[in-house]
Structure 1
Amino acid sequence: MSFNFFVNSNITFGRGALACLADLIRGYGFKSAMIVYDEGVRAAGIAGKVLAQVKESGAEYIVFDGVIPNPTNEVVEEAADMAKKAGVDGFIAVGGGSSIDLAKAVNVLMTNPGRIGDYGGMNKVKTPCLPLIAIPTTAGTSSEITNVSALIDTEKVIKYVIIDNKLVATDVIADPELTATMPKSVTAATGMDAITHAVESYISNMATPLTEYNSLKGLEILYRNLPAAVENGNDMEAREQMMLGCIITGFAFSNANLGLVHGIAHTLSAHFGLAHGMANATVLPYVMRYNAESCPEKMAALAEAIGIDLSGEQEKDQYLLSEALLKLTRRLGIKTLSEQGIDEKDLDMVAEDVLKEPVLGFNPRQGVTKEAVLDILKQAY
């Protein structure tokens, strides 16, 4: 047995953890930091709390608050130009996956030449990046501890990923109190994103014993706590457990990669701007049913991890997970593709483009066809 498992970030976890930010900044000796966040983080009052800590540290700083959902190459280049002009020597990313992914991408361009699109794919970043402190405000993407940045190329109309260990945040401040302002729909969608990461990384053909352990443990925590976090946003125990499960799962999928669910979600986001977590959640049960026969024992193990009693009959047990996930998405109010504004006439085009997605190489069921993807999309419609 031989495998590699990469973990790099220092993590400060717990309620009130944000209070350590000033000391972290002083420890790095930042002379000019870029603080990255979006309008939602500012409106929730979280940006103000972060800026208070930055000011306490004594560091100079600039703010980039132009983050958009599914950040594009153009927005990355805009932020990078701003950071270079200011002579930034460190980053603080505050928010969900979009803010943290954007900060990672900008960070690449601070120490590496060219345009951000040059780095799509695996292990193309040659020079180490600047220090990055990631402060998640959602429990979903795990971007705070992964080696991935997901971006939209508006010219090619694709969502692509930069995967490189040099992207990983140097420090993470995981404070569950910062997730308390998330609306129910965002809590549900981001939580289902994390569950998707747990499931897809476990059945990935790149999975190892270490990733499998984290996938199962993360799924167990996420599945048990997501309904409570959605139904009562002030349930801080559930919020804390969701953030913990998200981090644990991030360890798994940043090493094992993902599969067909993400291939479909990336395509939907690129063409229609769908929120990543919602796109994942919509198709997840149907992709798991499609994948079941290729990894029946793993499907049964995932079902067992969320508390389902197995029958001992493989032909039944392999579908228990997909059935449970469908019930969960309905309970949480996850929208169908039609409810998200997708026109049925576009499904054929989406299915065609999904086949171009690199993540399909990690899916347990190989030889994915356009007809199979189209069938999944129709079920999710």
Structure 2
Amino acid sequence: MVSNFFVSSNIMFGKDSVKELPAMLKQYGAENVMIVYDNGVKMAGIADQVLETLKEVDVNVVIFDKVLPNPTNELVEEAAKLALNEKIELFIAVGGGSSIDLTKAVNILMTNPGPIGQYGGIGNVKNDVLPLIAIPTTAGTSSEITNVVALTDTVAVCKYVIIDNKLTPNNVIIDPEFTKTMPASVTAATGMDAVTHAVESYISNMATPLTEYNSLKGLEILYNNLPKVVADGTDMEARERMMLGCIVTGFGFSNANLGLVHGIAHTLSAHFHLAHGMANASVLPYVMEFNAESCPEKMVELAKAIGLSVSGEIDKDKYLLSNELKKLIKTLGIKTLSKQGIKEKDFEMLAEDVIKEPVLNFNPRQNITKQQVLEILKKAL
């Protein structure tokens, strides 16, 4: 069987790796550079650290610091207008998935006509984009090394993705020190986002031996270190391992795609502005329980990857992972849907939108019905 595995980014990994930024910029010879981040990155002092390194290079720096969670089409268009006016030649995205995804989307509009919404789907970006350097501050989305952009359409009230190999950042600087200021709740939610990526990509019907290896290894690393960093945010060895797990997992899911968990999470974020990682974590165990019927052998392999003891009875062992994930989200303090403000009266509307999600095409269990989604949501309430 022929399969494709795409990896593009040049990754600089480790403590103080941000010091390599000036040398990277000199390679491109850009004069006008835009740096993109949110208020949290600014308040944590991370933006200032990055800006300080830019003083070593003779470039004109333009700042866009209005990034919000679940970035919208309107925010992309606003940032793109500024970038076009300033004749930006290179982007630096600093932050979590929202900052990096917004920057990727803006980059599309530098060399392709708007509006941004027309590029939803796979392979719809016609022209090559400008150089992009990504500096992640969370261990969760893997956006820094993937070809995926997730945006919110406030008119259609949905979250959609743009997938194109042109969008993968050229260079990535991964400094675990930049994750040290994340509060425990954000560490838990973003970490569970990465766990979701590992699990969903492994059981995806697009998975290949290469993606499966990355998904299993990524899950092992994340599972063994996430409780440590949530309990002690100063554990820098565990922080570094989380960043490593995120990268390894990203290589897998960007090639294998995701499934029903993300279909539900996209809908929750679009309608109720739930943080993406928290939305994923809330429903992950129950979707895995649902999917176990379609891929029992893979569920057992996932259980083995995190050290769970299997009995050899597949009808029992296929639920080991989902049961362990239920324990894990409780340990990490992941909120139930009801504690995030979701009410049972909202389920009908949510379920109707979930079954329209394109990402369901990659889920191992197909022909998902509205009633089945309702049952999952009730368990997660």
Please give the range of the TM-score, normalised by the shorter of the 2 chains: over 0.9
1:114, CA displacement in angstroms? 2.2
Look up the match of 1:83. 83
Aligned to 1:276: 276
| Percentage identity across paired residues of the two chains | 70
* 2:350 partner amino acid: V
Give, in whole Å, the separation in 2 of the partners of 1:19 and 1:348.
51
The aligned counterpart of 1:292 is 292
- Offset at residue 55 of structure 1 (A): 1.8
Match of 1:72 in 2: 72
> Match for residue 189 of structure 1?
189
Q: How many residues align?
A: 381
SS in 2 for 1:159: strand
TM-score where L is the length of structure 2: 1.00
Q: In structure 2, what is the equivalent of residue 220 of structure 1?
A: 220
Distance 2:169 2:127 in 1: 15
- When structure 1 is superposed on structure 2, of 344-353 and 73-82 the one drifting more is 344-353
Instruction: Give 3-state SS (helix, strand or coil) of 2:151's partner.
Output: strand
One-letter amino acid matched to 1:51:
L
- Which residues of structure 1 form unaligned runs of 5+? none
Give the residue type in structure 2 aligned to 1:212. E
Question: What are the Cα deviations for residues 29-64 of structure 1, in whole angstroms up to 9, with x where unaligned?
Answer: 111011000000000000000101112122111000
1:143 & 1:344 partners in 2: Cα distance? 32
Is residue 24 from structure 1 mapped to residue 24 from structure 2 by the alignment? Answer: yes
Number of the residue aligned with 1:323: 323
Distance 2:29 2:14 in 1: 24
Name the CA distance, whole Å, in 1 between partners of 2:357 and 2:117.
Answer: 16
Q: Map 1:46-65; keep pairs closer than 5 Å.
A: 46-65=46-65
Distance in 1 of aligned mates of 2:56 and 2:70: 32
Question: What are the equivalent positions in structure 2 for 1:1-381 lying under 5 Å apart?
Answer: 1-381=1-381
Aligned equivalents of 2:206 and 2:188: distance in 1? Answer: 28
Measure the CA separation in 1 of the matches of 2:346 and 2:211: 36
2:215 counterpart letter in structure 1: S
Q: Deviations over 1:151-188 (max 9, x none)?
A: 00000000000000000000000110100000000000
Q: Provide the C-alpha distance between the structure 2 equivalents of 1:16 and 1:236, rounded to a whole number of angstroms.
A: 13
After superposition, the C-alpha distances for 1:271-314 in whole angstroms (9 at most, x for unaligned) are 00000000000000000000001000000000000000110000
List per-residue Cα deviations over 1:358-379 (Å, max 9, x = no partner): 0000000001000000000000
CA displacement 1:178-217 (0-9 Å, x = unmatched): 0000000000000000000000000000000000000000
Q: Distance in 2 between matches of 1:288 and 1:57?
A: 49
Distance in 2 (CA, whole Å) between partners of 1:264 and 1:115 is 26
CA distance in 2, matches of 1:302, 1:310: 11
**1:122-147 deviation per Cα after TM superposition (whole angstroms, max 9, x unaligned):** 00001111000000000000000000
For 2:96 and 2:20, how far apart are their aligned partners in 1?
Answer: 20
Query: What secondary structure is seen at the aligned counterpart in 2 of 1:110?
Result: helix
Secondary structure in structure 2 of the residue aligned to 1:57: coil
TM-score, normalised with respect to structure 1: 1.00
14-23 or 210-219: which moved more?
A: 14-23
Coordinate RMSD, CA, aligned: 0.5
Give the Cα–Cα distance (whole angstroms) in 2 for the partners of residues 56 and 32 of structure 1. 14
- Give the Å deviation of 1:28: 1.1
C-alpha distance in structure 2 between counterparts of 1:49 and 1:227, whole Å: 28
- Give me the whole-angstrom Cα distance separating, in 2, the residues matched to 1:218 and 1:123: 26
CA distance in 2, matches of 1:279, 1:271: 12
The amino acid of 2:328's aligned partner reads L
Letter of the structure 2 residue corresponding to residue 195 of structure 1: V
Whole-Å Cα distance in 2 between the matches of residues 29 and 102 of structure 1? 23
- Higher mean C-alpha displacement, 50-59 vs 187-196: 50-59
